[in-house]
Amino acid sequence: MRYLMPIIFIIAAVAGFFVYTNPQYQKLKAKMAEYQKIVEANNKATTLRAVRQKLSEDRNKISEADVDKLSKMLPDSVENVGLIIDIDNIASKYGMRIRNTKINESGARSAAAVGPDARKYGTISLSFSVTSSYENFIVFLKDLESSVRLVDLTSLTFSSAKEGRYDFNVTLQTYWLK
């Protein structure tokens, strides 16, 4: 009996470990892992709040006039009508009216490009015609070059219309954020 009691206590201790202690320990480990994920998420959220605060402060340093200029230079959408109106306003300063406007939204991707377009901007091509003297047209192009909207002149053809006046066919490419 003297040896029986310690063996019973050892068996009871081992059984108690497997029946009660080990399941409680496994639950505790699972809760600790969950807690660790929550702590990591909280740390990331704190970091993101700090980044958002810094970006907000940086954004507040930019004047509203500059933000408007940036949104005109590289708009968030295509804004075809606004682009045509802007170009027509520039042309009207020199007694010109744009006509025969055509918009091509196919962009600048080559036919050999395969797969999705990973660019963060889109392009559109705008063609139009104006009739003007050469001198007025050159000044018009300089104003167009210095305008707020980002445009690239991709094609220019001209022909004689009347004495001292020419028909200019212009193709521009402009950009917008996707």
The pLDDT of residue 84: 85
pTM over 0.85: no
Distances (CA, A) of 122 to 77, 86, 116, 163, 167: 9, 19, 13, 40, 30
Measured CA to CA, the distance from residue 152 to residue 1 in angstroms comes to 101
Topology (CATH) of 74-177:
Alpha-Beta Plaits (3.30.70)
> Which stretches does DSSP call E strand in the chain?
99-104, 121-132, 151-162, 165-177
Higher pLDDT, 116 or 176: 176
Nearest residue to 177 via CA among 70, 89, 32 = 70
What percent of the chain lies above the pLDDT cut of 90? 24
Query: Would you say 88 and 142 are in contact if contact means Cβ atoms under 8 Å apart?
Result: no
Write out pLDDT tens, residues 17-73: 888 888 999 999 999 999 999 999 999 999 999 999 999 998 888 888 888 777 777
- CA-based max dimension of the chain: 130
Look-up of token digits 């520039």: 90
Q: Enter the tokens of residue 171.
A: 């193709």
Q: Enter the tokens of residue 175.
A: 């950009």
Q: What integer best gives the mean pLDDT of the chain?
A: 84
Measured CA to CA, the distance from residue 7 to residue 85 in angstroms comes to 96
Distances (CA, A) of 113 to 6, 116, 167: 80, 9, 35
Q: Say which range, 52-56, 65-69, 105-109, 142-146, has the weakest mean pLDDT.
A: 105-109
Measured CA to CA, the distance from residue 117 to residue 87 in angstroms comes to 29
